[in-house]
């Protein structure tokens, strides 16, 4: 892995980009995924929960990220649901999605947040949220979800819980570049930490968890002290104008542009030029020796 400031660049990128531009690399089909910017109010504004991925991870090792992961096909199973209907979520999340696919993305966001932070956006009814998920019985269910021994639909049904989709706000959508070996079509959401709940350092994929203000996290990236992928940095910068978690959720409710951001790579002479449309700060130029 190499970095520019705090930006993560795998050493395999130049070779794969050249193969892609030459037409000898077939892009991997991206897997749908969801990730959540979990917010809580701190002094002077919101703080966001972040995890540092273990150095042993195959993708983005050592990078700071949010709780999230791939959609499980079982996330399409019917669940008790509060908030906008899946058909409404399909319209909000992007063209081409049907209600079952949209439900799966929202379920993945809620499930992965519970799996990786212990925070659960569900409650006994459409107006409440569970207040404490720290008992051993909760932990046993969380581990079963992580191992895929238990589906999220069965978990909610067994506990007579309603998924609170109304607590999520759609924030952004990024697709892993075509030259990457592991690709994800990822929807980013924002949510506020429910009253009474607290995050736990339970993710097997992380070696550190922190609560930071967006400004602190961005400054750490700019100084080269915190490694991040472009979508993490971009979504943090987009949080900077908001003075509270509620304000960020209101911003999401106003309707954000969820046009997917997909990196473009081309050759200028023998130099690779890598760009993310609309995000010029991530432009990267790699010479023949890289």
Mean per-residue pLDDT pooled into runs of 10, the chain (290 residues): 55 82 88 97 92 65 88 95 96 91 98 95 96 92 95 97 98 92 94 94 78 96 91 96 96 91 85 88 73
pLDDT of 9: 65
pLDDT of residue 86: 96
Q: How far apart are CA 194 and CA 261, in angstroms?
A: 30
d(CA 147, CA 179): 29
pLDDT at 288: 53
- Between CA 80 and CA 153 the distance in angstroms is 9
* Both tokens assigned to 120: 């659960």
Read off the DSSP letter of residue 228: B
Residue 81 is predicted with a pLDDT of 97
Quote the pLDDT of residue 2.
Answer: 47
Domains of the chain in sequence order: 28-256 (3.90.79.10)
> What integer pLDDT is reported at residue 1 of this predicted model?
45
Nearest to 118 by CA among 150, 97, 141, 99: 141
**Angle CA(200)–CA(206)–CA(212) in degrees, nearest 5?**
65
* Residues 224, 258: Cα–Cα separation, whole Å: 28
Polymer length in residues for the chain: 290
Q: CA 116, CA 212: separation in Å to the nearest integer?
A: 17
Task: Give, as one character, the DSSP assignment of residue 56.
Answer: T
Residue 3 corresponds to which tokens in the numbers above? 């970095």
């Amino acid at each position: 892995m190499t970095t520019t400031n705090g930006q993560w660049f795998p050493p395999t990128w130049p070779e794969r980009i050249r193969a892609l531009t030459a037409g000898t690399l077939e892009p991997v089909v991206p897997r749908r995924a969801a990730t959540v910017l979990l917010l809580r109010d701190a002094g002077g504004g919101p703080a966001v929960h972040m995890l540092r991925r273990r150095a042993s991870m195959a993708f983005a090792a050592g990078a700071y990220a949010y709780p999230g992961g791939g959609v499980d096909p079982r996330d399409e199973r019917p669940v008790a649901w509060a908030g906008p209907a899946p058909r409404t979520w399909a319209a909000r999340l992007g063209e081409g999605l049907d209600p079952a696919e949209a439900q799966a993305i929202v379920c993945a966001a809620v499930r992965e947040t519970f799996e990786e932070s212990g925070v659960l956006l569900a409650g006994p009814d459409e107006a409440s949220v569970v207040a404490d998920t720290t008992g051993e019985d909760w932990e046993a269910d969380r581990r079963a979800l992580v191992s895929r021994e238990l589906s999220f639909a069965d978990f909610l049904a067994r506990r007579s819980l309603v998924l609170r989709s109304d607590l999520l706000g759609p924030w952004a959508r990024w697709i892993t570049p075509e030259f990457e070996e592991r690709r994800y079509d990822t929807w980013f959401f924002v949510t506020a930490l429910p009253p009474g709940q607290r995050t736990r350092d339970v993710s097997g994929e992380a070696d550190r968890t922190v609560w930071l203000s967006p400004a602190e996290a961005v400054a750490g990236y700019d100084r080269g002290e915190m490694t991040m992928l472009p979508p993490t940095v971009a979504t943090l910068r987009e949080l900077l104008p908001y003075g509270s978690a509620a304000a960020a959720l209101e911003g999401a409710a106003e309707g954000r542009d969820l046009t997917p951001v997909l990196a473009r790579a081309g050759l200028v002479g023998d130099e690779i030029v890598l760009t993310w449309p609309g995000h010029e700060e991530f432009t990267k130029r790699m010479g023949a020796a890289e």
